[in-house]
Amino acid sequence: MANNSIPFAERLSPVRALFTSNSREGVLLIGIAVLAMVIANSALGEGYHALFHAPLPWTPIPKLWNAHLWINDALMVLFFFVVGLEVKRELVEGDLSNPQARRLPVIAAVAGMVVPASLFLALVGDDPQMHRGWAIPAATDIAFAMGVIGLLGRRVPGTLRLFLLTVAIVDDIGAVIIIAAFYTLEVKGIWLIASIAVAIGMAIMNMVKVDRVWAYFAATILLWFCVLNSGVHATIAGVVAALMVPMYRRNGKHLLEKVEHRLAPWNAYMVVPIFALANAGVDLRDLGPAGILAPLPLAIAAGLFLGKQLGILGAVAAAHKLGIASKPEGTSWLQVWGIAILCGIGFTMSLFIGALAFADNALLYEQAKIGVLMGTLASLVMGYLLLRFAPAKRLTVEQAEAKVESQVV
């Protein structure tokens, strides 16, 4: 139940942003991905690969011996930290705090992870090494998908924007759990105990209402270092640290909100683009047609493009039919289908999981990237076209806000 003493305009601020979302982040990611592909397939390809994968002349942490590792294991902690902040805010004060409002997105998100993973395993063949990529098509890139929504403007009802955002947040929670549970190879007990001790310390800071940003920043760095050495993937530290940031309000705002607002632009315009530049480039000349059309990339592309829409649309239709939850108000089934297709935009999280799944096999990792890019492109184009031309009676911004208010209050 939301706190009614908080002005509605403040409680709705994350939702209000959805009604005015722009396409800058999505367009930026598209541009970076294209740039990485062009460079990787040009005369600069060898230099591009060396820039990110050649050993550094010096590094303060031997475990991070090249730029690619610093980006994926260190810089991306900020991405996961912002994801954690967003998840906590939604669970405490947002749409995920309301059992009725979260029912449909949670059902859709779970189906949108299970069906793509199942389709991937059905198509990829009997090679157990390729089976490690089962989670790659289960992820949704929230920034990319919302960027496409921004291109469509008011053609997409506010209730559908909210539905997409909530599904993507639940999807992120699932992806974090998958990374922690299935992509941890060897755990070092001492470092794991140290990580737990730091996390408990941060929880105590929260309980005694420490509200200094620098204190949580320092604790997050320490937690990251301990997790990095524990064998659990270091980015999990970002999510855990974010969950320890306080939500109590002081002078109308809580610390979590302040931190999220400060970090969100850095995350959107620095961290994710750098990650995309380092991970999206794949030399098609090395793969050739046989590599591009191999079982792995086709299974990933099918999981993202077909699996996501089958899982999410099927779950929404079943929930609506059985009376468990109604489809988003003021929308047509064509529009719901379009949103389900857009959820197949995996990109950031899919590329990240691919790097973990095939860290010891460069060829399979390159093929995985091709699959992610193909599935993302197909989902982007088809989802955009369907939503662009789907006729529907749309809710106005005021009606959609009133609908959200009725769920929050």
Cβ contacts of residue 398 below 8 Å, gap of 6+?
none
| Residue 392 phi, psi (nearest 5) | -165, 155
Q: How far apart are CA 150 and CA 156, in angstroms?
A: 9
Structure tokens at 96: 């995920």
- The tens digit of pLDDT for each residue in 73-89 reads 999 999 999 989 988 98
Exposure b/e, 167-190, CB count within 10 A at least 16 = b: bbbbbbbbbbebbbeebeeeeeee
Of the two residues 11 and 123, the one the predictor is more confident about is: 123
Roughly how many angstroms between the first and final C-alpha of the chain, as a whole number? 7
The pLDDT value recorded for residue 343 is 96
Q: What is the DSSP string of 299-316?
A: HHHHIIIIIHHHHHHHHH
When pLDDT is averaged across residues 237-261 and rounded to a whole number, the result is: 85
- In this structure, the number of other CB atoms found within 10 A of the CB of residue 139 comes to 32
List b or e across 267-305, with b for residues whose CB sees 16 or more CB atoms inside 10 angstroms: bbeebbbebbbbbbbbbeeebeeebbebbbbbbbbbbbb
Average pLDDT for residues 90-105, to the nearest whole number? 84
Run of H or E including 254? strand 253-254
- Most trustworthy range by pLDDT among 6-15, 74-83, 96-105, 140-149: 74-83
Q: How confident is the model at residue 13, as a pLDDT? A: 43
- Residues facing 249 on adjacent strands: 254
SS3 186: coil
The greatest distance separating any two alpha carbons of the chain, rounded to the nearest whole angstrom, comes to 62
Single-letter residue type at 139: A
Q: CATH number for 14-408: choose from 1.20.1260.10, 2.60.40.420, 1.20.1530.10, 1.10.1660.10.
A: 1.20.1530.10
Name the residue among 287, 226, 264 with its Cα closest to residue 63: 226
**Residue 32 in this model has a pLDDT that exceeds 70:** yes
For position 10, what pLDDT does the model report? 40
Which pLDDT tens digit goes with each residue over 325-361?
Answer: 989 888 999 999 999 999 999 999 999 999 999 999 9
Residue 184, φ and ψ in degrees, nearest 5: -110, 115
pLDDT digits (tens, 9 = 90+) for 187-217: 899 999 999 999 999 999 999 989 888 999 9
Res. 402 pLDDT band, cuts 50 70 90: low
Instruction: For residue range 36-52, list pLDDT tens digits in order.
Output: 999 999 999 999 999 99
Model pTM score: 0.85
